[in-house]
Copies of this chain bind each other. A is one copy, B any other.
Amino acid sequence: MELAEGKLKFIEAWGKLGSEWGINRTMAQVHALLLISPEALTTEEVMAELSISRGNANMTLRDLIDWGLVEKQHKTGERKEYFFAEKDTWIIARRVAEERKKRELDPVIKILGQLTEVKGDEKDPAFMAFKSSVININKLANNVNKTLETMLKAEENWFFGSIFKMFKK
Contacts and interface: CB of A to CB of B under 8 A. Distances in A.
A139 B71 CA distance: 24
A9 interface: yes
Contacts of A166: 162-163, 166
Q: Sort chain A's interface into a size bin.
A: 35 or more
What DSSP secondary structure best describes chain A's contact surface? Answer: helix
Interface string A58-96: 000000000000000000000000000001111001000
A131 to B, nearest CB: 9
A54 interface: no
Interface in A93-126: 93, 100, 103-104, 108, 111-112, 114-115, 117-120, 124-126
Nearest to A12: B111
28 contacts: A1-B117, A1-B118, A3-B118, A3-B126, A3-B127, A5-B118, A6-B115, A6-B118, A6-B130, A9-B114, A19-B22, A20-B22, A21-B104, A22-B22, A35-B133, A36-B133, A37-B129, A38-B126, A38-B129, A39-B125, A87-B136, A89-B139, A147-B160, A147-B163, A150-B167, A163-B163, A163-B166, A166-B166
